[in-house]
């Protein structure tokens, strides 16, 4: 099969012919129709996440069709349309798995990091971490939901019943979860890069009540804020934007160092917390909710062999919405 392969950290992916993966017990072989490009892929390729298994096929926002099932798989059949997310394996017996907190599993493995992912024509996945995809969602449109949507949804859940919600960094995840939050009747405030008028206008088109740069304070104190951008300097800014008792959620897997800040902006029972991965419950809930909203994803498609170009666009901040790779058929 054709695949984009990372052979060395900090170097471009290589378009190669590689063996089609083997479908073992408990797994499904999926023919990939679309794979979205996530900022986590950038963190892997650029070496900001340690010790990826090399050579590696990145990608963890995968949509495709089951073409083979392994021994013991009874929940999926050949022809089923499915999605494959970041969390690709959990042990099932550690203290976190026993609490249904498999997102914190001590022995977890991740798609496109320790397991080969979706920048390819085929991939194999543990059937426990494969989700059915509603017919209403097209392949390209559905791909960003598998991480931008799922991690965004988990972040939104951790904001509780916040009525005024800020989103710092208005990219793939924010543009999806903004629609969910507006659907739920929340007021959304969008914070973008300095002077990014296009991103602010994009946010307004999705129903936010205010859009400005990350250096500005919102017109009203927020009940909660989600930081999607991997920028540690936004943590004090977000804390200053939320009211007493408010929550700031750091949604990324990687963030630049957080600068020191005065205790007064944390005081007042404000909460600062991170999001780690996803649970199966997150996936099941969100993928049922998305067609009801309905969530519309804004995407730019690239041929599989143009994955480096898509990564560069994400790295530069020139994307609106999400990049999605389409492999050759």
Q: Which residue has the tokens 């909710």?
A: 289
Is the CB of residue 275 less than 8 Å from the CB of residue 224?
A: no
Residues 48, 53, 57, 59: is their CA dihedral positive or negative?
negative
Distance in angstroms (rounded) separating the CA atoms of residues 169 and 235: 12
Helices (H), 210-255: 234-241
How many CA atoms does the CB half-sphere of 3 hold within 13 Å?
23
Is the per-residue pLDDT at 329 higher than 90? no
Please determine, for residue 128, whether its predicted confidence score (pLDDT) is greater than 90. Answer: yes
What is the reported pLDDT for 281? Answer: 94
Q: How many residues does the chain have?
A: 329
Residue 10: left if φ>0, alpha if ψ -120 to 50, beta else—which one? Answer: left
Q: Given pLDDT bands bounded at 50, 70 and 90, which one contains residue 195?
A: confident
DSSP string covering 160-210: TT-SEEEEES-SHHHHHHHHHHHHTT-EEEEEESTT-HHHHHHHHHTT-SE
CA angle 163, 230, 184 (to 5 degrees): 20
* Percent of the chain as helix, strand, coil, to the nearest 5: 25, 30, 45
- Structure confidence by residue, pLDDT tens digits, 252-288: 999 999 999 999 999 999 999 999 999 999 999 999 9
Q: What is the pLDDT of residue 317?
A: 86
Statement: residue 118 has pLDDT above 90: yes
**3-state DSSP of 92-152:** CCCHHHHCCCHHHCCCCEEECCCECCCCECEEEEEHHHCEECCCCCCHHHHHHHHCHHHHH
Domains of the chain, CATH where assigned: 2-144+297-326 (3.90.180.10), 159-274 (3.40.50.720)
Residues 6+ apart with CB under 8 A from 48: 42, 254
The Cα 33–Cα 311 span in angstroms is 19
Q: With a cut of 90, say whether residue 320 has pLDDT above it.
A: no
pLDDT tens by residue, 12-63: 999 999 999 999 999 999 999 999 999 999 999 999 999 999 999 999 999 9
Look at the block and give the residue holding tokens 């005081």: 267
| pTM of the predicted model as reported, rounded to 2 decimal places | 0.93
Nearest to 135 by CA among 74, 69, 183, 63: 63
Residue 143 has pLDDT above 90, yes or no: yes
Asked whether the beta carbons of 322 and 36 are under 8 A apart, the reply is yes
Cα distance between residue 122 and residue 291, in whole Å: 26
Task: Identify the band that residue 321 occupies on the pLDDT scale cut at 50, 70 and 90.
Answer: confident
CA angle 56, 126, 130 (to 5 degrees): 100
């Amino acid at each position: 099969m054709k695949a984009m392969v990372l052979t060395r950290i900090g170097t471009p992916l290589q378009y190669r012919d590689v063996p089609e993966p083997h479908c073992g017990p408990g797994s499904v072989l999926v023919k990939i129709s679309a794979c979205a490009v996530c900022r986590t892929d950038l963190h892997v390729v650029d070496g900001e996440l340690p010790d990826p298994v090399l050579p590696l096929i990145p990608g963890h926002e995968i949509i495709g069709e089951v073409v083979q099932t392994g021994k013991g798989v009874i929940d999926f059949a050949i022809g089923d349309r499915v999605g494959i997310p970041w969390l690709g394996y959990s042990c099932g017996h550690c203290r976190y798995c026993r609490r249904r907190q498999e997102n914190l599993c001590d022995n977890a493995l991740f798609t496109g990091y320790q397991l080969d992912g979706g920048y390819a024509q085929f991939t194999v996945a543990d059937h426990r971490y494969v989700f059915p995809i509603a017919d209403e969602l097209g392949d390209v449109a559905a791909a960003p939901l598998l991480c931008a949507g799922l991690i965004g949804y988990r972040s939104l859940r951790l904001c509780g019943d916040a009525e005024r919600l800020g989103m710092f960094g208005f990219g793939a995840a924010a543009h999806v979860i903004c629609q969910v939050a507006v659907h739920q009747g929340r007021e959304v405030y969008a914070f973008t890069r300095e002077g990014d008028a296009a991103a602010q206008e994009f946010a307004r088109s999705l129903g936010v009540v205010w859009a400005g740069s990350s250096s500005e304070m919102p017109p009203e104190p927020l009940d909660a804020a989600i930081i999607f951008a991997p920028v540690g300097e936004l943590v004090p800014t977000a804390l200053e934007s939320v009211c007493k008792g408010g929550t700031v959620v750091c949604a990324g897997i990687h963030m630049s160092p957080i600068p020191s800040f005065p205790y007064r902006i944390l005081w007042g029972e404000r909460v600062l917390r991170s999001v780690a991965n996803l649970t199966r419950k997150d996936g099941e809930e969100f993928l049922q909710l998305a067609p009801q909203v309905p969530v519309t994803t804004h995407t730019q498609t690239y041929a599989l062999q143009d994955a480096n170009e898509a990564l560069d666009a994400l790295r530069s901040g020139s994307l609106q919405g999400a990049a999605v790779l389409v492999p050759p058929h």
